[in-house]
């Protein structure tokens, strides 16, 4: 427990320890795990802006031009599950090298898909999912219409595909077309909760809605990538490196 002037500070009534006010942020207590959605107070725009600015100072502002291939992004995101970026990319390249088109991937014997993507891990599951998605899209195998469709319409379409959720849908829309959606993966959700941006233990649907509400238009890629980088480099799941964290002065979850 921290102390101000040698006096331990506790919540009135509960006796739970609280942190003293910190420069650069109005959050003074760690986010409570049991807080309901109705009781949750979204952080102010000013606080979100300060956190974004600090992250940008550390990690820069990422730039990635939308590549325009939603189907490729969809398959790549399926391949990214439970593996690292390198193995995902190896699996994806092998798939593209062995099959001339997405139609060929859809219609190939399952074992051939499984063999092609094996370096990406859990290839039995992923091969079934990729073919199920391609079958569900049907003909033509093309998602280019999403470029000009309303985002909620594309989200609904993508989330109705087998095994596709909000995170995958957000990856497709943001990375393919630069549309307004923010993927919330395990790093983004963990760092967001620790910083008091997101409600602890909120379901993924809510996390995506909240991230979108917190993110100014045009900052979707930047906020996603920088929270993710911070989760990978410093705010680790098991042992966050709070002692060397550049955000510690504005973090209500910091460990001393
Ligand atoms: S102070 Fe600790 S918990 Fe807070 S963001 Fe930094 S590493 Fe994560």
pTM attached to this predicted model:
0.85
Is residue 5 assigned to a domain?
no
Alpha helices in 150-219 (DSSP H): 151-159, 166-171, 177, 186-194, 204-214
| CATH code (residue 186) | 1.10.1670.10
Yes or no: say if 197 and 226 are a contact pair by the CB < 8 Å rule.
no
* Substitution site in 2, 251, 252 for ligand 1 pocket (most atoms within 8 Å of beta carbon): 251
Residues with Cβ < 8 Å from 18, sequence gap 6 or more?
9, 10, 11, 28, 29
Yes or no: say if 123 and 95 are a contact pair by the CB < 8 Å rule.
no
The reply to whether ligand 1 has any atom less than 6 angstroms from the CB of 248 is yes
Pick from 177, 192, 219: which residue ends a domain?
Answer: 177
Query: Average pLDDT in the 61-73 region?
Result: 95
Domain identity same for 123 and 194: no
DSSP 8-state code for residue 19: P
User: In this structure, what is the dihedral angle of CA atoms 185, 88, 229, 156, given to the nearest 10 degrees?
Assistant: -30
- The residue whose C-alpha atom lies closest to atom 3 belonging to ligand 1 is 254
Domain identity same for 105 and 162: yes
Instruction: Put residue 98 in one of left, alpha, beta given phi > 0 → left and psi -120 to 50 → alpha.
Output: alpha
Give the confidence band of 256 by pLDDT, cuts at 50, 70, 90: confident
Query: Average pLDDT in the 72-89 region?
Result: 95
Q: How many domains does the chain have?
A: 2
How far is ligand 1, taken at its centre, from the CA of residue 254, in Å? Answer: 5
- The residue whose C-alpha atom lies closest to atom 2 belonging to ligand 1 is 242
How far is ligand 1, taken at its centre, from the CA of residue 195, in Å? Answer: 7
Domain identity same for 55 and 100: no
Half-sphere exposure of 201 (CA within 13 A, CB side): 7
Domain identity same for 96 and 160: yes
Pick from 138, 156, 177: which residue ends a domain?
Answer: 177
| CATH code (residue 158) | 1.10.340.30
pLDDT computed for residue 29 by the predictor: 63
Decide: helix, strand or coil at residue 239.
Answer: coil
Yes or no: say if 59 and 47 are a contact pair by the CB < 8 Å rule.
no
pLDDT computed for residue 33 by the predictor: 72
Yes or no: say if 27 and 18 are a contact pair by the CB < 8 Å rule.
no
Q: 150 lies in which domain range? A: 70-177
pLDDT computed for residue 26 by the predictor: 45
Phi and psi at residue 68, to the nearest 5°: 85, 0
Domain identity same for 225 and 210: yes
Domain identity same for 173 and 189: no
Question: Relative to the CA of 194, which ligand 1 atom is closest?
Answer: 3
- Among residues 171, 191, 211, 206, which one has the least CA distance to residue 80? 171
Lowest mean pLDDT among 21-30, 78-87, 133-142: 21-30
């Amino acid at each position: 427990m921290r102390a101000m002037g040698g006096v331990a500070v506790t919540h009135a009534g509960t006796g739970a320890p609280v942190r003293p006010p910190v420069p650069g942020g109005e959050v003074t207590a760690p986010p409570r795990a049991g807080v309901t959605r109705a009781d949750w107070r979204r952080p102010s725009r000013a606080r979100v802006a300060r956190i974004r600015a600090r992250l940008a100072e550390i990690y820069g502002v990422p730039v990635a031009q939308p590549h325009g291939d939603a189907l490729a992004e969809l398959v790549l995101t399926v391949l990214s599950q439970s593996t690292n970026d390198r193995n995902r990319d190896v699996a994806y390249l092998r798939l593209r090298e062995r099959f001339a088109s997405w139609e060929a991937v859809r219609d190939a014997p399952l074992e051939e898909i499984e063999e092609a993507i094996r370096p990406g891990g859990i290839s039995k599951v992923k091969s079934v999912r990729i073919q199920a998605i391609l079958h569900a899209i049907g003909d033509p195998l093309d998602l280019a219409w999403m470029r000009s469709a309303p985002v909620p319409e594309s989200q609904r379409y993508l989330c109705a595909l087998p095994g596709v959720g909000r995170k995958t849908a957000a990856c497709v829309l943001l990375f393919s077309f630069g549309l307004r959606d923010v993927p919330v993966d395990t790093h983004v959700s963990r760092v967001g909760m620790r910083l008091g941006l997101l409600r602890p233990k909120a379901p993924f649907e809510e996390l995506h809605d909240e991230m979108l509400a917190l993110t100014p238009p045009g900052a979707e890629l930047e906020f996603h990538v920088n929270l993710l980088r911070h989760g990978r480099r410093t705010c680790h799941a098991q042992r966050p490196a709070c002692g060397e964290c550049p955000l510690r002065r504005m973090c209500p979850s910091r460990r001393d």
